[in-house]
Amino acid sequence: MVGTARKLVTTTPVPSDIEIAQSVSIQPICDIADSAGILSEELELYGNTKAKVSLSVLERLSNAPDGKLCIVAGMNPTSLGEGKSTSTVGVSQALGAHLEKNVFTCIRQPSQGPTFGIKGGAAGGGWSQVLPMEDFNLHLTGDIHAISAATNLLAAAIETRMYHENTQTNEALFRRLCPPDPKDGSRKFCRGMFPRLEKLGINKNNPADLTEEEILRFVRLDIDPDSVQWNRVVDVNDRFLRCIDVGKARTEKGMVRETKFDISVASEIMAILALTTSLADLRSRLGRIVIGESKSADELITADDLGIGGALTVLMKDALKPNLLQTLEGTPTFVHAGPFANIASGNSSVVADQVALKLVGPDGFVVTEAGFGSEIGLEKFVHLKCRLGGLRPSVIVLVATVRALKMHGGGPPVIAGTALPDVYTSEHVELVSKGFENLRRHIEHANLYKVPVVVCCNRFRTDSGKELDTIVKMSKEAGAYDAVVSNHWEEGGKGAVAFGEAVIAATSEAKNEFQFLYEDAMPLREKIEVIATKVYGASGVEFSENATRRLEMYQARGFGKMPICIAKTQYSFSADANLKGAPTGFTLPVREVRLSAGAGFVLAICGTIQTMPGLPTRPAYYNIDVDLKTGRVIGLM
Amino acid sequence: MVGTARKLVTTTPVPSDIEIAQSVSIQPICDIADSAGILSEELELYGNTKAKVSLSVLERLSNAPDGKLCIVAGMNPTSLGEGKSTSTVGVSQALGAHLEKNVFTCIRQPSQGPTFGIKGGAAGGGWSQVLPMEDFNLHLTGDIHAISAATNLLAAAIETRMYHENTQTNEALFRRLCPPDPKDGSRKFCRGMFPRLEKLGINKNNPADLTEEEILRFVRLDIDPDSVQWNRVVDVNDRFLRCIDVGKARTEKGMVRETKFDISVASEIMAILALTTSLADLRSRLGRIVIGESKSADELITADDLGIGGALTVLMKDALKPNLLQTLEGTPTFVHAGPFANIASGNSSVVADQVALKLVGPDGFVVTEAGFGSEIGLEKFVHLKCRLGGLRPSVIVLVATVRALKMHGGGPPVIAGTALPDVYTSEHVELVSKGFENLRRHIEHANLYKVPVVVCCNRFRTDSGKELDTIVKMSKEAGAYDAVVSNHWEEGGKGAVAFGEAVIAATSEAKNEFQFLYEDAMPLREKIEVIATKVYGASGVEFSENATRRLEMYQARGFGKMPICIAKTQYSFSADANLKGAPTGFTLPVREVRLSAGAGFVLAICGTIQTMPGLPTRPAYYNIDVDLKTGRVIGLM
């Protein structure tokens, strides 16, 4: 892929992101694909600058050795973000366009919620971006829309099934589910009915052969409305959907139920997309989704019980293919699945990494981003993504900024949409070294996995040399294999050459004895305790009564081998956003536990964490418009 | 485009729709485009079998003469549908692959609601279909998803704006909307704020220059929550969303509001997509959307007042381009916008017809479908689409079936999902001639527009020769220019050659003095009365108190020139689905009236009509799955 790499002519002062993105002449995506070794029959164009790539690459290259996997994680960020995506793109541009390496970038698709809410879009930034940034921030190829469609179809199916069961006799239900043929009265099962029959141990092909008892079990899922844990979704920051009553129309006969919408990317189907490994695996996971319990509480009801696993797969089959885009310097990029590491698995897809690792070859690099601070993004990368996808990291990068260190060192709050206090744009070495405690903890955490750790100081124009030197020096002392200052925002790949060289060295020279922090066999409760104490630095875990009960139930029902996905604030090692630095002595409050049987993990919700963001008083959409002369988007940042 | 046309080898008994669709080797869409005269720079591929076509075709061919516009409408259908899409595709295949004519088919994109609900998908049927039928019935290129995203973003904006206004002082609102620069305290307006400033007559560029009174008017939309007429949408049959309470979470501070979700295709943004003519027009319409009234009732609040018109346009800019697909016989097809003629404008887009008319040239044909019976589909085609898009029909086709005529003649109910009563599959000429009253009324209605009318009897295998002859004979006597039997379901284009020849003759030989039934200047109330009496055969109209009040208000506020879009049942000329045949002496009840200022019409809701369908006990999704060996979709019908 070095063939299409292109040196940038960067300019300072750095123009706005969208100005830069629109100033570069974008290469046809088929050329990018060609240089990356993707065959034309493996490529599905979406316009000239986006494409989907078939998973058949994995079969074609099944015997080829994998490239090196570089995970870009971070420290606990300010609310402005510390440029992790920008650093991921920057080092990719350095490796591919300046250091003659095959490289692939794997990043997550952003949610439209923040794009129109607070962020105004982000595909990296400055001279390190993914193109076309407009599509990246908008519909892309529709994967998130597919997730919303599938999630909401399942929600409608649950609600309507409860309604039909409440308003019909067993006979009527059976007659409608398996209507007799008008000619000879014969009945048939639909394809979608066999998984439930199998689960019930009914090994019959002819509905007429069912006993009364079997008919009852077949037609009545008997879902307990209070147990339904499947929420509808929209990919919009719509806070008024956080708690709603549905079913208030006369036609629903008083079956009012309290429920909620989450933002689409928090859906279990997003987690499934991020963690699945093939179409067959996708089908199986979607069918296994547990939506609630039966009223007698002796059965977990799944999507396949509703006969809808196949339809969900049909809705998701195109979304399964990673989306190919390019960086400003013409290196290939997969954008696929997974934002919101605070409330979801928060990493781009397993399949994107797998395909990219095959394509770059043994000397090439796949640079993949893990969301937010390492305690959530990296921990989930390792325990969910590496475990379920069989991935082995070659190097872990921790992105740090002078700004975030100052905040952890006691600087005033950094609030998106308001002016940055002066302390963040003038030299304050003591705040940096005090705040280093946060980064130190992240370095120590990353080292637990026994993979070399490189710290990247993502340089801002107002950072002083002394401040940056402090981070580099302290990082090395704290156990990082290397630490470098990188200037990719201002200079593109050229500014990240030292960063790229550090990554290369770490993967070729340093020791790598990759390990997990817990094994499958450990009970669910202990897994949570391991994460809380070893990763977060908590002194213990406090489980709510409900959480305890559910953990015991999941353990008893055979889900004990699943890994844990923790939902908590991204602003602290703890579940309290205000505990900056490297807090100790706190207790992690596990408020709620949910089974994500399709995704393959148990979700533990810690502290108060919102699964539906809101819009600020002046949302980003105020700036966004189309230039009617050129047809181009304006106002994405 | 005759170049790519391909003769089918049809087989009987006719296989299932999806079997036929998957048995034909689909042509690369770029070849279809090329033969249709679309330049490669006007084409955006979505995979190899779908593409979007740029509206720049209209500029390039602005001086070229238009082709002939053939509108395919119908009689009042049974709940199974009478094969109008199938007939539209069939005659297109006849014209393009058998009669050496340039042809373009324009049809509507189906909603996923019915695909997973009752219908199981439909892209025509038998040997007259649009390919790829799987994509057609699923996400296609994401247009409906874009509509959902835009509709729901606007809903969130309305709700959150009311919340912020309720919880903040004028000063706080102003400070957050126009935050002072940290350096010099200067403030700026966002791009999205100028439309409101202009509407308020505030001609100032600097927020600091606003008087206290101007600030108040600028920051407070003061939306009356009870007046909000903007609903959220999902493209799912989710009946429990027909009436909901939102805002029940503690974070929303008790601001609970009753509202509802509609199915996405009923959104005003779908109507806008169907009726807009350019990107600039789209921007303007989206900004003009009226979402409700101010509490003082002296202001209609628009999307531009919320500063969101630009963002909505950004979400919709790709959806604006028609989607190119192909028929089984390789003729080009646009699939764009507009299902649900009962509750929406119900026709495919103006721009698809316009682009197609340029591409086929003066001797070519654009065959475009109008939803449901002519009293809604055709009436809206003429008064909304022709009027707003400057289109002139060359011929009107009315599709009739023996089955529907028998039902109108007194046959037993036809219920989807249950067995068809015997009377529909055996000869009953007297029922056909009795039921002809319905078709006669449709012929008389179509003749009002002074465009030649061709009746197409869409032949089913169980129809008798006598039954079909009866329809042909009576149609001609009733004033149709011609009437033919067509067998395209079983034979593809070959079976529709006589149908195609009738269409050609009607456009070349018959008189055409196209006219509207009402002029812009006629008051809104009278327009509704014209439609009710002249088109539906009602003896009069009964307006609810609320409807009367609103009509007066819209008339007074300058919306009186708008055309009317009526929402009512598709199963009768009246608003009562049970009044079959050609009812007279009934009163049309106008229950509710809404302003669709963006779409450019006034919506009159008559009788009880549901804008959110439900799922049956055995939804179509039970049959839908992916074949894991081939990756192909199965179970779409």
The question of whether A460 is a catalytic residue gets the answer: yes
The overall average pLDDT reported for chain A is: 95
- Token look-up 């600039």 returns B280
> Is residue A1 pLDDT above 50, yes or no?
no
**What's the whole-number mean pLDDT along residues A562-578?**
94
pLDDT of the residue at B81: 87
| CA-based nearest residue to B194, from B203, B185, B186 | B203
Largest Cα separation within chain A, whole Å, is: 88
Predicted confidence at residue A348, as pLDDT, reads 92
B-chain residue closest to A47, CA distance: B44
Give the count of alpha carbons within 13 A of A404, CB side only.
31
Q: What is the DSSP string of A453-501?
A: EEEEEE--TT--HHHHHHHHHHHHHTT-SEEEEE-HHHHGGGGGHHHHH
Q: Choose among A148, A240, A617: nearest Cβ to B247.
A: A240
Which among B34, B29, B46, B26 has a CA at the least distance from the CA of B1?
B34
Please report where in the chains the tokens 């495919």 appear, as a residue: B348
The pLDDT score that the predictor gives to residue B600 is 95
Name the residue in chain A with its Cα closest to that of B42: A47
The C-alpha of B105 sits at a distance from chain A's nearest C-alpha, in angstroms, of 23
Using the predicted structure, report yes or no on whether residue B218 has a pLDDT greater than 90: yes
What average pLDDT does this structure show over A315-343?
Answer: 93
What does the block give as tokens for B388? Answer: 């707003």
> What secondary structure letter does DSSP report for A555?
I
Residues in chain A within 8 Å Cβ distance of B118: none
pLDDT digits (tens, 9 = 90+) for A582-607: 999 999 999 999 999 999 999 999 98
- CA-based end-to-end distance of chain A: 29
Which helix (DSSP H) or strand (DSSP E) does residue A587 occupy?
A: strand A587-596
Position B338 scores a pLDDT of 78
Sign of CA pseudo-dihedral B515, B521, B524, B529: negative
How confident is the model over B319-340, as a mean pLDDT?
A: 94
* Cβ neighbours of A176 in B, within 8 Å: 417, 616-618
Q: Which residues of B touch A628 (CB under 8 A)?
A: 279-280, 283
What percent of chain A has a predicted confidence (pLDDT) above 70?
99
Domains delineated in chain A: 17-140+318-509 (3.40.50.300), 144-315 (3.30.1510.10), 524-605 (3.10.410.10)
Residue A420 main-chain phi, psi, to 5 deg: -75, 125
Contact, A331 vs A96, CB < 8 A?
yes
Is A50 marked active-site?
no
Higher-pLDDT residue of A341 and A79 is A79
Q: Is there a contact between B153 and A616 if contact means CB atoms under 8 Å apart?
A: no
Nearest Cα residue to B523 out of B554, B547, B501: B554
Q: How confident is the model at residue B3 (pLDDT cuts 50, 70, 90)?
A: low
CB B637 within 8 A of CB B122: yes
Q: Which phi and psi angles does B38 have, rounded to 5°? A: -90, 130
- Helix-, strand-, coil-residue percentages of chain B, each rounded to 5: 40, 15, 40
pTM greater than 0.90 = yes
Number of Cα atoms under 13 Å in the Cβ half of residue B146: 26
Contact (CB<8Å) B148/A146: no
Q: How far is B33 from chain A (nearest CA, A)?
A: 14
Q: List the catalytic residue out of A50, A52, A68, A108.
A: A108
Torsion over CA of B82, B88, B89 and B92, rounded to 10 degrees? Answer: 150
Among B160, B241, B245, whose Cβ lies nearest the Cβ of A615? Answer: B160
Is the peptide bond prior to A332 cis by the omega test (within 30 degrees of 0)? no
Q: What pLDDT is recorded for position A441?
A: 98
**Phi and psi at residue B224, in whole multiples of 5°?**
-80, 115
A381 is catalytic: no
Q: Determine, for residues B163 and A240 on separate chains, whether the beta-carbon distance falls below 8 Å.
A: yes
Residue of A109, A625, A632 to mutate when probing chain B, most B C-beta within 10 A: A625
Mutate to test the interface with A, among B235, B306, B415, B626 (most CBs of A within 10 A): B626
Residues with Cβ < 8 Å from A469, sequence gap 6 or more? none
φ, ψ of residue A206 in degrees (nearest 5): -115, 115
Degrees (nearest 5) of the Cα angle B399, B403, B408? 90
Name the strand (E) or helix (H) holding B15: none
Yes or no, beta carbons of B149 and A112 under 8 Å apart: yes
pLDDT for residue B46 is more than 60: yes
Question: CA-CA distance, B150 to B206, in Å (whole number)?
Answer: 30
- CA B446 to chain A, closest CA, distance in angstroms equals 36
Phi-psi region of A241 (alpha: psi -120 to 50; beta: other; left: phi over 0): alpha
CB atoms B236 and A315 under 8 Å: no
Q: How confident is the model at residue B120 (pLDDT cuts 50, 70, 90)?
A: low
Are A191 and B635 inside 8 Å of each other by CB?
A: yes
pLDDT range class, residue B185, cuts 50, 70, 90: confident
B-chain CB neighbours of A45 within 8 Å are: 45-48
Radius of gyration of chain A (CA): 25
Cα A301 to Cα A221: distance, rounded to the nearest angstrom? 7
For residues B365, B369, B374, B380, the Cα torsion angle rounded to the nearest 10 degrees is: -100
What gap in Å lies between CA B358 and CA B25, rounded to an integer? 28
B240 to A159: CB separation less than 8 angstroms, yes or no: yes
Q: What is the pLDDT of residue A7?
A: 73
pLDDT in tens, A116-145: 998 766 788 999 999 999 999 999 999 999
Give the closest-approach CA distance of A291 to chain B in angstroms: 16
Tokens representing A635?
């106002």
SS3 percent helix, strand, coil of chain A, rounded to 5, is 40, 15, 40
Nearest to B142 among A139, A178, A238 (CB): A139
Q: Given a cut of 90, is residue B121 above it in pLDDT?
A: no
Question: How far does A289 lie from chain B, in Å, by closest CA?
Answer: 16
CB pairs under 8 A between A and B: 293
How far apart, in Å, are the Cα atoms of A562 and each of A285, A519, A588, A598, A599?
A: 14, 10, 20, 11, 10
Min CA distance, A259 vs chain B (Å)? 10
Nearest beta carbon to residue B159 from set A238, A308, A318: A238
Mean pLDDT of A536-550: 97
Option in B248, B314, B622 nearest A192 (CB): B622
Longest CA–CA span in chain B (Å) reads: 88
What are the tens digits of pLDDT across the range B239-283?
Answer: 999 999 999 999 999 999 999 999 999 999 999 999 999 999 999
Summarize the confidence of residues B208-233 as an average pLDDT.
Answer: 96
pLDDT in tens, B194-213: 999 999 999 999 999 999 99
Contact check, Cβ <8 Å, A139/B315: yes
With 80 as the cut, is the pLDDT of residue A2 above it?
Answer: no
The whole-number pLDDT of residue B9 equals 86
Among candidates A156, A121, A99, A162, which has minimal Cα distance to A20? Answer: A121
Of all residues in chain A, the one with the smallest CA distance to B158 is A238
Q: Is A218 one of the catalytic residues?
A: no
Percent of chain B with pLDDT over 90: 88
Q: What is the pLDDT of residue B1?
A: 45
Give the closest of B45, B419, B621 to A311, CB-based: B621
Q: Which residues does chain A have within 8 Å of residue B242's beta carbon, measured at their own beta carbons?
A: 248-249, 251-252
ipTM metric? 0.95
Interface with chain B: mutation pick from A624, A627, A630, A634, highest number of B CBs within 10 Å:
A624
Interval B275-329: pLDDT, tens = 999 999 999 999 999 999 999 988 999 999 999 999 999 999 999 999 999 999 9
Cβ-defined contact of A625 to B240 (cutoff 8 Å): no
* Residue A237 pLDDT greater than 50, yes or no: yes
Q: Which residue in this structure is represented by tokens 């149908």?
A: B499
What is the dihedral angle through the alpha carbons of B196, B201, B204, B208, rounded to the nearest 10 degrees?
A: -80
pLDDT of residue A4: 65
Whether A127 is catalytic: no
B2 has pLDDT over 60: no
Active-site residue, B84 included:
yes
Distance CA B542, CA B588 (A): 6
Q: Is B380 a catalytic residue?
A: no
The DSSP code for A111 is P
Q: Show the tokens assigned to A545.
A: 């009564």
Give A3-55 pLDDT, tens digit per residue: 567 778 888 889 988 889 888 889 999 999 999 999 999 999 999 999 999 99
pLDDT digits (tens, 9 = 90+) for A424-463: 999 999 999 999 999 999 999 999 999 999 999 999 999 9
Of B193, B258, B310, the CB nearest to A626: B310
The per-residue pLDDT for range B96-107, each reduced to its tens digit, is 999 999 999 999
Annotation says B86 is catalytic? yes
Q: Show residues of chain B in contact with A29, CB under 8 Å.
A: none
Tokens of A132: 């076309």
- Residues A490, A86: Cα–Cα separation, whole Å: 11
Residues B263 and B236: their CA atoms lie apart, in Å, by: 6
Closest CA to A596 of A297, A388, A382: A388
Instruction: Residue A168: count other Cβ atoms within 10 Å of its Cβ.
Output: 16
Cβ separation of B236 and A152 shorter than 8 Å? yes
Q: Is the pLDDT of residue A63 over 90?
A: yes
Residue A346's Cβ-side half-sphere holds a number of Cα atoms within 13 Å equal to 29
> How far apart are the C-alpha atoms of B475 and A489, rounded to whole Å?
73
Chain B CA closest to residue A635: B191
